[in-house]
């Protein structure tokens, strides 16, 4: 058996290029700004809220960075027409604490729907976001309106086609 000179490995140009790839990290300032519009007419609350939370976090984009706000701004119209399934309209309650002794308050879904329909969607989305300063910043990008009118037409929001069922 004869021993020859040690062979040297020469990779093709495409393989060398693949070895030199780098990761791009986005910051809040460098991420592209997107505005999305949801029409909540007859959409199921939980399904729509989970989709909105994903868009606010930016997990639907390749520019997702966990430590920066790279998500979209989301506008929701027709909040009073949101739908829920089952007997939740009769049984669901929203509880909060005032900070005083004996200050636990409870509001039913139907009462809150009549008084503040935007609070129902905001609370559902808030519970799906991170419980951090970054999550509170993401929630501030959510704009909810009871009717069809909104003051964000200058941002040219893209309407999201969402199938509820």
User: What would the pLDDT profile of 18-54 be if each residue is shown by its tens digit?
Assistant: 566 777 788 888 888 999 999 999 899 999 999 999 9
What is the pLDDT, as a whole number, of residue 7? 54
Q: Could you tell me the domains of the chain? A: 31-159 (3.90.1180.10)
What is the pLDDT, as a whole number, of residue 32? 86
Gap between the terminal Cα atoms of the chain? 71
Distances (CA, A) of 163 to 38, 41, 160: 11, 11, 10
d(CA 123, CA 149): 21
What is the pLDDT, as a whole number, of residue 17? 57
What is the pLDDT, as a whole number, of residue 16? 54
What is the pLDDT, as a whole number, of residue 53? 97
d(CA 78, CA 40): 5
Q: Using CA of residue 14, residue 19, residue 25, residue 30, what is the dihedral sign? A: negative
d(CA 97, CA 112): 16
pLDDT along the chain (165 residues), means of 10: 56 58 82 94 95 96 90 96 93 96 96 95 97 96 96 96 71
- CA neighbor of 69 nearest in space, from 137, 143, 142: 137
What is the pLDDT, as a whole number, of residue 4? 56
Exposure letters 108-131 (e unless 16+ CB within 10 A, then b): ebeebbeebbbbbbbebbbebbee
């Amino acid at each position: 058996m004869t021993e020859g000179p040690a062979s040297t490995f020469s990779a093709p140009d495409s393989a060398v290029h693949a070895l030199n790839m780098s990761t791009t990290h986005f910051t809040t300032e460098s991420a592209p700004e997107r505005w999305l519009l949801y029409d909540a007419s007859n959409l199921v609350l939980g399904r729509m809220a989970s989709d909105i939370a994903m868009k606010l976090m930016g997990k639907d984009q390749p520019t997702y960075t966990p430590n920066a706000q790279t998500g979209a701004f989301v506008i929701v119209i027709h909040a009073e027409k949101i739908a829920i399934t089952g007997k939740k309209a009769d049984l669901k309650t929203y509880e909060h604490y005032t900070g005083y002794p004996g200050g636990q308050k409870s509001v039913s879904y139907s009462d809150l729907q009549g008084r503040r329909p935007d609070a129902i969607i905001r609370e559902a989305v808030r519970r799906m976001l991170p419980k951090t300063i970054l999550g509170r910043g993401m929630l501030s990008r959510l704009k909810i309106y009871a009717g069809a009118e909104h003051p964000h037409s200058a941002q040219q929001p893209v309407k999201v086609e969402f199938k509820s069922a």
